[in-house]
A and B are shown apart, each in its own frame.
Chain A
Amino acid sequence: NAGVMQNPRHLVRRRGQEARLRCSPMKGHSHVYWYRQLPEEGLKFMVYLQKENIIDESGMPKERFSAEFPKEGPSILRIQQVVRGDSAAYFCASSQLADTAHEQYFGPGTRLTVT
């Protein structure tokens, strides 16, 4: 009964490099959400995806950030040309149905450090 899985758990990138964060939702869940947590701040919504569709990307910066959830495989959050301000913990959550989207289960997070 695996929960939400994220990898890598820790990622170090130099400024200007690309970061790819992966998320596998809980078994039977088809809705994926990405959140970012900065030090001393709460979690901020970034994007909500279903298989092959972006449903809501209102929290995602317009430039350098993109997300996908392909038919096969994990959801990917991609950050191009990273800057120091991108250093944060990125959490993925999943829910089973749209009707149960209030019950979101979180993964352990990926901690991104930009040097």
Chain B
Amino acid sequence: QKEVEQDPGPLSVPEGAIVSLNCTYSNSAFQYFMWYRQYSRKGPELLMYTYSSGNKEDGRFTAQVDKSSKYISLFIRDSQPSDSATYLCAFYPSGTASKLTFGTGTRLQVTL
């Protein structure tokens, strides 16, 4: 079983739609849950992170963590063409500093 599973897409939605992006994971040690956005041929950009379970909202973005199901989601409201990018989930364990473990990314296309 892979440590992180993420649907690669591509996911195509019309402008204004609500987008739901998801990842599942298997490592119970993960305590921080991140979402990065990566535009083509650019570096990943940290959108938001959540510690432990629950929701976190930042503007049009909402991150949701369900640790009991080992499932995380990123919702984008009122999607814009500028949201077209690859979205990467990433995970970080508690304790001493360590690496981020990434999903393979979901490619999102928001059309006019």
Contacts and interface: CB of A to CB of B under 8 A. Distances in A.
Interface of A: 4, 31, 33, 35, 40-45, 48, 55-56, 58-59, 91, 93, 95, 98-99, 101-109, 111
Contacts of B98: 48, 56, 101
Contacts of A93: 100
Contacts of A105: 46
B44 interface: yes
Given A42-B88, A101-B92, A102-B49, A108 B42 contact: yes
The 6 closest A-B pairs by CB, nearest first: A45-B99, A101-B97, A102-B32, A42-B102, A102-B92, A106-B43
Given A55-B97, A98-B97, A102-B34, 15 more contacts: A33-B99, A33-B100, A41-B104, A42-B4, A43-B102, A44-B102, A56-B99, A93-B100, A101-B92, A101-B97, A102-B100, A103-B46, A104-B46, A106-B45, A107-B43
A41 B4 CA distance: 12
Contacts of A95: 97
Contacts of A103: 46, 49
B54 interface: no
Interface of B: 4, 6, 8, 32, 34, 36, 41-46, 49, 88, 92, 96-105
A6 B49 CA distance: 24
Nearest to A43: B102
A103 B45 CA distance: 11
Contact of A104 (B8, B42, B100): B100
Given A103-B49, A105-B46, A106-B44, A40 B99 contact: no
12 contacts: A31-B97, A40-B8, A40-B104, A42-B88, A45-B101, A101-B92, A102-B32, A102-B92, A103-B46, A106-B44, A106-B46, A109-B43
A59 B32 contact: no
Nearest to A58: B99
A31 B33 CA distance: 20
Contacts of B42: 108-109
A99 B92 CA distance: 12
